[in-house]
Amino acid sequence: MTDADRNGWDAIVIGSGIGGMAAAAALSKNEYRVLLLEQYQTLGGLSHSFTIEGFQWDAGIHYLNHVAPEDRERRILDWLSDTPIELASMGAIFDNLHIGDTPPLALSRPYEAQARDLKDRFPEEAEAIDEWIAALKEGRDAVHKLTMTRAMPEIMGAALKWWHGHAIDRWCKRTTQEVIDEITDNPDLAAAFAAQWFDHGGRPSKASFAMHALITGGYLQSGAWYPKGGGAAFADHILPTIWKAGGEARADTKVVTLMIEDGRVVGVRTAQGEDIRADTVISDIGARETVNHLLPQGCGHQDWIDEINALPHSVAHFSLFVGFEGDIERAGATRSNHWIYPGGKVDVVWTDAPDTPPPGMFVSFASLKDPGHDPGPSQKYAGEIVAWADWSVVEIWADREPGARGDDYRSFKARVEEVMFAQFEACFPELAKLVVFRNLSTPLTTHAITGHHKGAFYGIDTTPERLMSEALQTRTPVPGLFLAGQDVLTPGIPGALWGGVLAAATVDPSLFRQLPG
């Protein structure tokens, strides 16, 4: 606990995604008075939920890994929450692959079950499949060793990287595609290995294999889970921990710059012109966004800023939120997700929307995963269709405010919606008949909510360079400024959770001793 004036703030956290909420709640557990600031109108970042015409969707959550009751992340989540979040298992089968003209392939957990799924489809590739499963396990172990260094003093981190150098070189510094090519030359099996890459946003030809192993292997290790009440449950359960310690969480409050005096951060200035002082500021808005939008000009540390800006951004996406009325399970909906690649190739991004159909889509039925969902007498259910895309398809409208993008943008959105829905209808014709509501969000929506560079859903891309970068530490070169969230560790809820907790523990190392084991 600091000796800050009790009318002031011990710490300010910018961004209320999982990383920001985790950082603020962890410090609150040690009686810090924390002010959590969010630029968007709703708290929770990409974990927030929203409702239109009686249907509820999540902005970014589709399923969770590493949150089984025996996982440390689950215990930490419970520790941060005022009351525990109820998480429901999605069952043994969590994903279905629709690749080209082949029958759908259901993927189940644990590792042994998925190996069996693949061997049933590719019996002649049993040796390659066993090698792939072994690589996933070793890749997960390697990335765990590497990400441990994010909150360590530089000399300790360097020593740990040297000690585990062979595993890091083999799994972290190579791409997913390089590892797959070493294991098999069967294109259909290779596609199945790589199909779930959008779970971390890194294309197989660009992403670190270790990151792919961590994220996809997490479902094999711990299963797939979904929060009761949807993504909003995170804010509902974590924010009270902050409030009870005397902290606050403010939505619709954009930070426009950090205040720096004598070379160190002393607070923030908001878009409303309010100066708020605190000796500790944690940014959860993304590393690139922090250095490019919050640091004042001429503050120094240019080498660090340049290293962050040299890291590539992840892909953008369209989301078509759909509302159903009727018996959707009878019509083909499942708790498990569906990955759809009509052309048979999986390392693909929609670069010419809407002139051609999306080369890859993800379909999720959140209402079937949520044990708290009440369909009511009209049997209302929510679903989402996601197509990953390149920012270039919306870039011409990026400088215009919402509502001022003109008829050409409205026409563009309408055509994207029609093309995405037509592809969904081709896969699920009976389900398409039950759709009564559609609403499309574009990469510009992601940019508006998160501020992420070029609408990158996952922030910085999951390349080997990102994993090895020394710039993405919780403690920045700017005294008083710390980084939290998925850019520090890994994409997704568990990675952002750890990023927030480690940022808080870097501020107050006594928290390391308090974290649930």
- 19 shares its domain with 45: yes
User: Which of 167, 192, 222 finishes a domain?
Assistant: 222
pLDDT of residue 249: 98
- 439 shares its domain with 342: yes
- 261 shares its domain with 345: no
In this prediction the pTM is 0.94
**Burial class of 162 by CB neighbour count within 10 A (0 to 12, 13 to 18, 19+):** exposed
Can you tell me the distance from the alpha carbon of 91 to that of 97, in angstroms, rounded to the nearest whole number?
17
pLDDT tens by residue, 452-507: 999 999 999 999 999 999 999 999 999 999 999 999 999 999 999 999 999 999 99
- 238 shares its domain with 367: no
| % of the chain with per-residue pLDDT over 70 | 97
- Pick from 302, 256, 312: which is nearest to 478 by CA? 302
> Per the structure block, which two tokens stand in for 12?
């300010």
- For 128, list phi and psi in degrees, rounded to 5: -65, -40
pLDDT of residue 147: 75
84 domain residue, yes or no: no
DSSP letter at 31 equals: T
Can you tell me the distance from the alpha carbon of 356 to that of 353, in angstroms, rounded to the nearest whole number?
6
- 49 shares its domain with 141: no
- 360 shares its domain with 264: no
- 443 shares its domain with 369: yes
In the chain, the N- to C-terminal Cα span, in Å, equals 23
DSSP letter at 344 equals: S
> Per the structure block, which two tokens stand in for 103?
């029958």
- 208 shares its domain with 149: yes
Strand 380-389 to strand 316-325: parallel, antiparallel, or no bridges (unpaired)? antiparallel
105 domain residue, yes or no: no
Can you tell me the distance from the alpha carbon of 410 to that of 490, in angstroms, rounded to the nearest whole number?
35
Report the number of distinct structural domains present in the chain: 3
Containing structural domain, residue 160: 128-222
> In this structure, what CATH number is given to the domain that contains residue 246?
3.50.50.60
Helix (H, G, I), strand (E, B) or coil at 19: helix
Q: Which amino acid is at 384?
A: E
Strand 11-14 to strand 281-283: parallel, antiparallel, or no bridges (unpaired)? parallel
Can you tell me the distance from the alpha carbon of 9 to that of 32, in angstroms, rounded to the nearest whole number?
8
pLDDT tens by residue, 390-446: 999 999 999 998 888 999 999 999 999 999 999 999 999 999 999 999 999 999 999
- 444 shares its domain with 321: yes
- Pick from 134, 211, 219, 218: which is nearest to 176 by CA? 211
pLDDT of residue 148: 73
pLDDT tens by residue, 243-300: 999 999 999 999 999 999 999 999 999 999 999 999 999 999 999 999 999 999 988 9
The answer to whether 165 and 150 have CB atoms below 8 angstroms apart is no
Q: 89: part of which helix (H) or strand (E)?
A: strand 87-89
